[in-house]
Structure 1
């Protein structure tokens, strides 16, 4: 994974665009974004059959404190630093690789109309 340093930077930039809600409704699934960066299934999934990766797999490339900084000025709420989980929310609650992602916060907080990449 260490050889992906430049790719991690590009991924962080892409995710900051996602976090800003700049992608339209026809956004690609995250599996395509990760594949385009050269990642394979085994980079995130450690077992067969492929189960949901542990959140620690996300932390290999994504710094939750940095994501929280990037989304700190969100007009509704900061989805990456919240009163329930701090900066350690399970990424898989909102971000899905093989199906459309969802606004997990909106399941309870109806006014939180968040765009989730």
Structure 2
């Protein structure tokens, strides 16, 4: 399990529970999953243009959830603990144990 904080200058990934974490990545099942403390994760269609900050914020407001399965090619938006907006694209998602790779765009925080 990895804890991810996107509100830093660069994303912070730790194995210890971070109070400021935005989401958790678990890679022990059939596909990695992303979890959050509240309904801040919004899955997007697998194909389409890269969303804007406003489109991501609207996706979270309209369809935010706290758990998402993350297969390769999955795309999602989220709201960070400090109120920023982020877009994630899953580049690789191993089944079982392994390292999931994501690209991340963050708007509206100290990282932006």
TM-score after normalising by structure 1: 0.30
Structure having the higher strand fraction is 2
Please, what TM-score do these two structures have when normalized by structure 2?
0.31
Give the greater-gyration-radius structure (CA): 1
Q: Which structure shows the bigger proportion of residues in helix conformation?
A: 1
